[in-house]
């Protein structure tokens, strides 16, 4: 483990920008004596500047006769990058065999291994341009005549920019195969530089679409600290904000990473998903540092393929297992795979890397006489038997760009040759004479081999493949396609995934979650925390009659008036229609009480009729008692209008029958009280009083008071009569159908008039409460009116504080209670004497208890 940590530190300090495999210790001197450049002959030559290996030195051996013979030295190889050379060779051989492209002209290339220092890069470029092999190079002077047509550079944009700065002086064509870069697309600075890679304008959309699919709303970003990192950061912020995804942190990786990794891991555990975007050349140190740690709780989403390091360690787990990688979609070239199977050192003796491959992986030994000759090789030695993490036989994206770049050059050169042949036919077998800058005109718009239009200045996005890295056990290194993204597909169909194929990091048994706050389940809404990102919130239940049927909603939806929210507040149910029905326990009880009381009243009427000639009945104004009992019967029965499903007729009858019946009852009580006062309170009645007594004037109070109430009710019914109404809020889950009073002023006027009659009756009864008489009912009248008044005064505030069926029941109860008070307190004592104390209901008893005023009362009754 310590060796790997030290190795990562060493890589960082030397700013290594490729995935390299160290060759240390006792290896053949041929690894150091063979230079880093070779040539594949052709009539016209392409300069190829690829990164394949890097030498490192710690101590130089004194008096060494080999330029790369060191004590404790090592060389690092990126064997996967060797595919760049093979892709170039494959394209050139394919073109050379094609008689329709550049007939009688062969393509070749000069290969130079790229170092990562500007000095060596420019040195190799000048050496290629001037054909110098020695240290001294003369600008603008060529040692031997060669047809150089273009330079093929990559994979780092920095390398291409450094070479392009030099080649731009000569308008020398340059094709880059690395990732697309906006700086290199500056035509004013690099007018003869052409990028083969597709733009990544849809990459942020593709990655954010994946975040949305898995509902990852809390993610981290690791980007290079350069213009590309700043641009992609802006794109990510814009796209994530549009999709309500929050950035947990942003780590900008500087060019010098010696001390940065000590601060890199701060707050890294805040999220389970981290996006890495950049070039593998510039982020290789970061990738190695991550690989040295066992980070099994992070899902890495990347645009670069991390190469599994050659060699093994003591850990089965791997930090990158389960990572998701976005790569441009390129069709697999099966011919290239077959070509790799035929590659060997004997077939291409000029290739300096094939002998190293065979020596290192197939245990071949170098000949003592020549480093190009191998001995004791395995019979089945072939590049396609190597593990994919060492060498991949499938053409990678960069290799595809090299392949297309070579074809672009070939087609451009072919078109230019045809034009030159028309302008200046060759004589005596002379070859074609041209200048490399002339190719620029033809490179801007060409037709490549697979009939796709390739506009090198307007490269377009391709579809993205989504790869899943399977590296458990560590070293497996499989990259499995689990989906794709197409920006040109219809909305909602751009992302396609096979979730069952995805291997997640070892710590997860299901799809990982990456959120700042736990999701608010249906029935709750999110409340953003002050000073926090919008993805950090708390959950609060929906308000009354509001629902949310999805997770993480910002606002609950209010149910319609005809619906109500269930207890969980995640669904609106239709409300049931309800009213004070006879089937309801409350309605049934009130109806039963009304019928019983009306029956009791009829029974009392029967008692009074049967005993109409007894003193107690005659002494209490027999006719008024009959009228009051009949009116009370209607008072009890009118309460039944309030029970049952309301209709327009019932709503009108409720108030009119109630008002008229109670007016007649109270008017009758008032007449009885006035009669008593007139009979006993007046000692010497005058002519008016005598006339009232003789003509039974108090009885006219009943029709007069009733007509006044009828007038009020008539105005009420004419202006704003009661109507059927609905109350959707009184009872949860129900719509109460009830009668609306219409005019509240008219309703309270009716009640006020009844209260005035009650107060008048109480006053008259109170004045005659102490008059001497055996059957004086003034006390009972006053008490009954007091109870009546209290019932209706209490009714008003209680009535206005209730809703729905309870409000209707309250009005029915008040009608029954006030009617019962009149019945019980006025007629209860009389029935008691008639039924239980008949001895008191006799003239003998009356003579002993009464005086002269009794005779006046009996005379006028």
DSSP assignment of 103-135, as one string?
A: TT--EEEEEEE--SSHHHHHHHHHHHHHT--SS
Shared domain check, 756 and 645: yes
Average pLDDT, the chain: 79
pLDDT tens track for 809-835: 888 898 899 889 888 888 888 888 888
What number is the average pLDDT over the span 585-598?
A: 91
Q: How far is CA 47 from CA 90, 93, 131, 407, in A?
A: 15, 16, 11, 15
Is 90 exceeded by the pLDDT of residue 2? Answer: no
Whether residue 384 contacts residue 393, with contact meaning beta carbons closer than 8 Å, is answered with yes
Domain membership flag for residue 619:
yes
Shared domain check, 291 and 219: yes
pLDDT tens track for 275-298: 999 887 777 778 877 877 777 888
SS (H, E, C) 392-446: CCCCCHHHHHHHHHHHHHHHHHHHHHHHHHHHCCCCCCCCCCCCHHHHHHHHCCE
Is 80 exceeded by the pLDDT of residue 343? Answer: yes
Shared domain check, 168 and 119: yes
Distance of CA 184 to the CA centre of its chain: 39
What CATH number is attached to the domain comprising 643? 1.20.1070.10
Between these two residues, 311 and 573, which has the higher pLDDT value? 573
**Cis omega (within 30 of 0) for bond into 693:** no
Segments forming the whole domain that contains residue 133: 26-199+331-357+393-454
What CATH number is attached to the domain comprising 467? 3.40.50.2300
Highest mean pLDDT among 58-72, 331-345, 416-430: 331-345
Domain membership flag for residue 374:
no
What predicted TM-score, i.e. pTM, was given to this entire model? Answer: 0.64
Q: Which of 501, 532, 563 is the last residue of a domain?
A: 501
Is 70 exceeded by the pLDDT of residue 727? Answer: yes
Distance CA 466, CA 631 (A): 90
Shared domain check, 344 and 324: no
Q: Report helix, strand or coil for 541.
A: strand
Shared domain check, 255 and 187: no
Q: Which of 574, 604, 632 is the last residue of a domain?
A: 574
Shared domain check, 307 and 171: no
pLDDT at 221: 93
- Structural domain total, the chain: 4
Domain membership flag for residue 648:
yes
What number is the average pLDDT over the span 488-497?
A: 88
Shared domain check, 326 and 402: no
pLDDT tens track for 298-320: 899 998 876 655 444 545 667 88
Domain membership flag for residue 249:
yes
Domain membership flag for residue 19:
no
The number of residues making up the chain comes to 861
DSSP 362-390: S--EE-SS-TT-EES--TT--GGGS-TTT
pLDDT at 422: 73
pLDDT at 801: 79
What number is the average pLDDT over the span 681-690?
A: 51
Q: Report helix, strand or coil for 529.
A: coil
Shared domain check, 740 and 666: yes
Shared domain check, 326 and 298: yes
Between these two residues, 284 and 65, which has the higher pLDDT value? 284
Highest mean pLDDT among 35-44, 131-140, 230-239, 719-728: 230-239
H or E element: which one contains 291?
A: helix 280-291
pLDDT at 312: 46
Residue 5 backbone phi and psi in degrees, to 5: -60, -45
Shared domain check, 557 and 481: no
Which DSSP category does 269 fall into? G
Distance CA 661, CA 678 (A): 26
Domain membership flag for residue 384:
no
Shared domain check, 240 and 319: yes
pLDDT band at 842 (very low <50, low <70, confident <90, very high): low
Q: How far is CA 268 from CA 248, 303, 534, 825, 845, in A?
A: 9, 20, 20, 86, 108
Shared domain check, 80 and 154: yes
Domain membership flag for residue 368:
no
Domain membership flag for residue 422:
yes
Q: What residue ranges in 191-260 does DSSP mark as E strands?
A: 193-195, 218-224, 246-253
């Amino acid at each position: 483990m310590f060796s790997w940590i030290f190795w990562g530190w060493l890589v960082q300090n030397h700013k290594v920008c490729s995935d390299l495999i160290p060759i240390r210790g006792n290896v053949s001197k041929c690894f150091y004596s063979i230079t880093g450049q070779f040539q594949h002959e052709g009539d016209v030559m392409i300069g190829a500047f690829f990164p394949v290996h890097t030498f490192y030195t710690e101590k130089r051996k004194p008096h060494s006769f080999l330029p790369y013979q060191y004590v404790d030295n090592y060389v690092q190889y990126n064997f996967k990058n060797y595919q760049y050379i093979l892709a170039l060779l494959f394209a050139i051989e394919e073109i050379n065999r094609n008689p329709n492209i550049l007939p009688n002209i062969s393509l070749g290339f000069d290969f130079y291994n790229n170092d990562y220092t500007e000095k060596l890069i420019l040195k190799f470029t000048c050496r290629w341009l001037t054909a110098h092999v020695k240290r001294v190079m003369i600008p603008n002077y060529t040692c031997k005549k060669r047809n150089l047509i273009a330079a093929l550079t990559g994979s780092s944009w920095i390398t291409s920019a450094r070479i392009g700065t030099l080649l731009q002086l000569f308008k020398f064509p340059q094709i880059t195969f690395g990732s697309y870069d906006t700086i290199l697309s500056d035509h004013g600075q690099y007018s003869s530089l052409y990028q083969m890679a597709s733009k990544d304008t849809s990459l942020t959309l593709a990655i954010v679409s994946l975040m949305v699919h898995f509902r990852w709303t809390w993610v981290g970003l690791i980007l290079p600290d350069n213009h590309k990192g700043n641009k992609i950061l802006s794109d990510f912020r814009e796209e994530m904000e549009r999709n309500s995804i929050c950035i947990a942190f942003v780590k900008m990786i500087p060019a010098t990473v010696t001390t940065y990794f000590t601060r890199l891991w701060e707050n890294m555990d805040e999220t389970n998903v981290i996006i890495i975007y950049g070039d593998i050349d510039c982020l290789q140190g970061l990738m190695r540092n991550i690989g040295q740690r066992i980070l099994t709780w992070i899902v890495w989403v990347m645009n670069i393929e991390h190469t599994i390091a050659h060699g093994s360690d003591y850990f089965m787990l791997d930090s990158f297992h389960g990572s998701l990688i976005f790569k441009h979609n390129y069709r697999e070239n099966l011919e290239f795979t077959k070509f790799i199977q035929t590659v060997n050192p004997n077939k291409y003796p000029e290739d300096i890397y094939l002998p190293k491959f065979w020596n290192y992986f197939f245990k071949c030994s170098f000949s003592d006489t020549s480093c190009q000759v191998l001995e004791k090789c395995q019979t089945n030695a072939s590049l396609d038997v190597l593990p994919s993490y060492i060498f991949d036989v499938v053409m990678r994206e960069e290799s595809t760009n090299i392949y297309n770049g070579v074809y672009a050059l070939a087609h451009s050169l072919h078109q230019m040759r045809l034009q030159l042949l028309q302008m200046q036919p060759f004589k005596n077998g002379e070859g074609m004479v041209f200048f490399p800058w002339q190719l620029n005109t033809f490179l801007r718009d060409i037709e490549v081999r697979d009939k796709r239009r390739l506009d090198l200045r307007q490269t377009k996005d391709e579809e993205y493949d989504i790869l899943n890295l399977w590296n458990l056990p560590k070293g497996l290194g499989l990259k499995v396609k689990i989906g794709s993204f197409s920006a040109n597909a219809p909305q909602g169909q751009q992302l396609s995934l096979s979730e069952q194929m995805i291997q997640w990091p070892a710590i997860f048994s299901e799809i990982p979650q990456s959120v700042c706050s736990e999701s608010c389940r249906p029935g709750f809404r999110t409340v953003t925390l002050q000073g926090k990102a919008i993805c950090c919130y708390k959950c609060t239940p929906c308000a009354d009659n509001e629902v949310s049927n999805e997770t993480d909603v910002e606002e609950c939806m209010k149910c319609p008036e005809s619906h109500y929210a269930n207890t969980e507040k995640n669904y609106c149910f239709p409300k049931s229609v309800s009213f004070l029905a006879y089937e309801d326990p409350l309605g049934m009880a009130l109806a039963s009480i009304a019928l019983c009381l009306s029956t009791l009243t009829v029974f009392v009427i029967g008692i009074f009729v049967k005993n109409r000639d007894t003193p107690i009945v005659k002494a209490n104004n027999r006719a008024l008692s009959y009228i009051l009992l009949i009116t009370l019967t209607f008072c009890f029965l009118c309460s039944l209008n309030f029970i049952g499903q309301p209709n327009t007729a019932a709503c009108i009858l409720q108030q009119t029958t109630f008002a008229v019946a109670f007016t007649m009852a109270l008017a009758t009580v008032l007449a009885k009280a006035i009669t008593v006062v007139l009979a006993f309170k007046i000692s010497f009645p005058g002519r008016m009083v005598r006339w009232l007594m003789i003509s039974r004037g108090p009885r006219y109070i009943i029709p007069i008071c009733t007509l006044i109430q009828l007038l009020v009710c008539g105005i009420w019914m004419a202006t704003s009569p009661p109507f059927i109404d609905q109350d959707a809020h009184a009872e949860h889950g129900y719509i109460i159908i009830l009668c609306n009073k219409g005019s509240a002023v008219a309703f309270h006027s009716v009640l006020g008039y009844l209260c005035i009659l009650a107060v008048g009756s109480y006053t008259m009864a109170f004045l005659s409460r102490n008059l001497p008489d055996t059957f004086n009912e003034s006390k009972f009248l006053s008490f009954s009116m007091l109870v009546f008044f209290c019932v209706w005064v209490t009714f008003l505030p209680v009535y206005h504080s209730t809703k729905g069926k309870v409000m209707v029941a309250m009005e029915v109860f008040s009608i029954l209670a006030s009617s019962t008070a009149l019945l019980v307190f006025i007629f209860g004592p009389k029935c008691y004497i008639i039924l239980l104390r008949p001895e008191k209901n006799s003239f003998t008893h009356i003579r002993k208890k009464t005086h002269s005023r009794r005779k006046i009362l009996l005379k006028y009754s």
